[in-house]
Every structure is written in C-alpha cells, then in structure tokens.
Structure 1
Amino acid sequence: MAARLSFLVVLALLAVLTAKADFDDQFEVIGDRDHIGYKDDGNGGQEFSLELDQESGSGFKSKNKYLFGEFSVRMKLVDGNSAGTVTSFYLTSGESSTHDEIDIEFMGNSSGQPYVMNTNVWASGDGKKEHQFYLWFDPSADFHTYKITWNPKNIIFEVDNVAVRTFKNYDDLPFPTSRPMEVHATLWDGSYWATQHGNVKIHWRHEPFVVSYRAYHANGCVHSKNSSRCPDGSDAWMHRELGDEELDTVAWTERNCLSYNYCADGWRFPKGFPGECGRK
C-alpha cells in the first residue's frame, strides 16, 4: 500500500510539473508566481488557476503577440461572495495612450447576485464601448467557454459558441488593425469600481479567491518584428462575419441579458453618441 501511495504521489507531482512546463512554454507570469496553480485537468489537458488575496493578485500573458486571430479559454469563476473581484480574458497592445484592447471582464458580486460580464473595445486609445451582460447561467458553478474572434472586418464575442456581440470596422472610425496584441488573463482587486460602481468592496475574510482556466486556444497571426505569420486554415476566421442566425442570437442576448449599453447612455455622452452607435 505504501509503495502504491508513493507511486501515486510521483504521478501527481509529474502532472504538476508537466502542467507548469506547458504554462511556461506559452505564458509569462503577471504578479506573484506563488499565486498561480498548475494541474492536469483530467482530460489530457492542463488547468491553471489564479489566486487573489490581500498580498497580491495574479495573472499571465502570452509570449506571442498577434495581429488578428481567434482566442478562447474555458473558465470557472470565483464562487461564493466575489464582490470587488475582477476576472479577465483580454488582448492588449500595451498601456500607451494610443493602445488597442479587446476585453472580456467579469465583475464579481455579493453571494446570490449574478456576475456582470463586461465586453469592451479600445482602438487608438479610444474606449468606453462597453456592453455588459448578466449571463444565462452561473459562471462560477462550472467551466464555460469564452471566445474572441478578431479580424479586419469585426470583433466577435462568444459564450459557449453563442455569439453575444459583434463590433464592426467602419472605414471612418477607429478600429484595432495595426497594433499586435498579447493575450492576458488576470484576477485582481477592483473594489474601487467593479461591484455596484465601487459601493461593495472585497470581503477579505473569504480569501483566497480562485479562478480556473482550461483549454486555452490561440489560433492567430503571430507577429514578429515587422511581419505577421498566419497559420494554415486562418481563412476560417480571418474573413468571418456573423450570418443571420448568429445575428439572431446577438439580438436575443441583447433583449434578455444586456444590462448596460454605452450607445444608450446619454448621461455619459451628452454631446452625442460615438459614431458606430445606430449603424448596422
């Protein structure tokens, strides 16, 4: 029995080391490495977890930079009282005043209250284009797939293969087309804004807060120096736009799940809505 237990311990350790090596092949650490966990997901893949406590948040970013692509991950969010926490999966070109960024962020809430999924697009430093949703399921109860497709025509946001939003490229308006971006995933303290406009803070007695990531997938044009190399089969997403059936799911989501639309926020835009609002 002791020999069998020792063998199982060795197997578990090898699984952790394999997961960590796989992580290090793809990503760089953001924040404290001690707040990142690694394990086999039980289906031949890897699972990474991020922790948040009073000492530190955590995150990772892709070693590759991309200029267009499709990017997805399965996530299981912080359960219980997640108020004040922000969990993210996004692309960004950096932190300059002219940066590009494509966001999926989850703003935690008090126990029993739903998460808010925030989607946003920044182009040449121009942001404030949020659509926020209450999802049709509890994203902390199990893993669900979140996907961003980014091409020269549009940006598509999907949840479990259901299109929930599209952001189109109009010739006369800013759109991210020239700045390569890294993929980021983070868990951090957003108490100052995340939950009910910052009125509900993190309750640290519930720490550590943990979010898990599985099945990360990046199929994009890898940018190096002054050129990008696109993988075989990239035509499947490079020219993708939503058809009528998918536009119907976007319309359904807007009717049933949309909790905030920047194109309806006259207080925020007293001088007129951004140029893309109202266009088809």
Structure 2
Amino acid sequence: MAYVTYEHRGQRHAGELTGRTVVPLAGITELGADTTPNTLTEATRDTSAEIAVTEVKLLPVVPRPAKIFCVGLNYRAHVAESQRELPTYPVLFPKFASSLLGPNDDIVLPPESGQVDYEGELVVVIGRPGRRISEDRALDHVLGYTVANDVTMRDFQYRTHQWMQGKAWDRCTPVGPHVVPPEAVDLAGAGIRTVLNGEKVQESDLSRLIFSVPELISKISVFTALSPGDLILTGTPGGVGYRRDPQLFLRDGDRISVEVDGVGVLSSVVRAAGSDGQDGAGR
C-alpha cells in the first residue's frame, strides 16, 4: 500500500497506489495539512476512476508542506568524510515548498553552480500534530515515509557557515515517488543507496543514523509544533560527490536514483538549464 499526489487532466488528486494503478481517494485533493492516518484509512476509494500510474503526473508527495526540516551529518561515514566532529545535537536547516520536485521531474542544473551534488535520504512525513513529543510516542505522529535526493549546490553551500543558500534552490529536491505507511519500513536496518549512471555511490542502512527518527521528531518538536504534511529529511550517508577524490558532480544527461528498502526508488534525469537559465517542466 502506498499513497501519491498526482495531476490528471488538469485536476489534482490524492490516490492509493496499487501495483501500477492509482485509485483516487474521494474528497482528498493532495497529501498535506489535512491528511492524517485516519483520513487515509477512512477515505472512500473511487474505483470507477482508477487509472494507470503512467497516465498521470506524479507531484511531490506533499506538494505544499508548511515546514521542511533537513538534517545534516546524520551518518558517521558522512561525518568522517566531512572531517567534522560527531554532532551531539542534530544539524538542522530548512527547505521550502518551492524547493520540491515531483518524482518524474528532471533535476535541472542551475547555470550559476558548477558543483551540483547528490544526497540520498529517507524522508519522514508527519501525520499527526504535536509539540514536545516524547521519543516513545514519536512514531505515533508519522503518516509514512518517502525518499528524497537533497540536491546541493556545494559552491553556494560553503560560502557561509549557514547552508541554506546551497540547499534551498527552487525546484532542486525530488521527493517521492509515494508515501508508504510506517509498518512497511524497517527503521532498524532498511538499506539506503544512491546509484549514479549504474554505479553505486552511496550505501548504508537506517540503523546507522546518529539521530534516529524518534529522536529527530522529539528534538524538532521541542522548538516548533509539528503538523500533518511536514517533512523531515533525515540525512545522507557517506559517499557524496564533493568529498570524493576526484570530486564527482552531476552533469547533463546523468541518471541518478535513490533507493530505500521498503519505501521505494526515486529516479531522476539530470539536464542542463535552458538558454534562459530557467528550470522547465518535468519530463
């Protein structure tokens, strides 16, 4: 079982993905602020409007999250390759709804950056509101999990000690292709990997997160309330292109995928920006 947000014939819908078909959820136009686990469970499945997933445009699973939290340095191998000390508190930075791409949209290389890097990540989708959530109750607030590629412009990221200018570009972060319920994911050991042009460039498993999913939910909810539709990108394993020798950055024509066992595969094509510098529509 998995859930998607999609467009068909100019209309936006939320649907349940069953194999290669999508069944609309009556009364729900998108996953987001009004979507709780109960909402999804109780929604009527409009089987008369079932459609092949190839016939729809998949959107970012939550197209308009109120808040996007990103975690840096959350795998020991990435901390080591970054030559930093092991953090004692999560390294957090924001993205915006405008940063997101659909799972079938191209990653467009901005003409201003020559160091566009990949970062495969597990994403937590919040499904119940809460503030100061305890770790032992944290997973009760999860709607499900999805996949992201935290595409990063390194030459902008390291212009200051703050990372936002390298991380929050418009239309830079593919998220999807769907949300799976919590019981489908083995947080104790599901594998995560990134594959670039057929070569595995990142690989780890979720047991190696420095700050676990419950810890992240608990710590973030101390300083701000979490709401349905909020996203938490949980960090990337070692193997990023910037830390390789020689360095490895995304180029026009590359094909890159991020895989999380039990969650899904997020595949993207990389292309250069048009002559006007604009990042056009997805493929």
* Superposition TM-score, scaled by structure 2 size: 0.29
Give the structure with the higher percent strand: 1
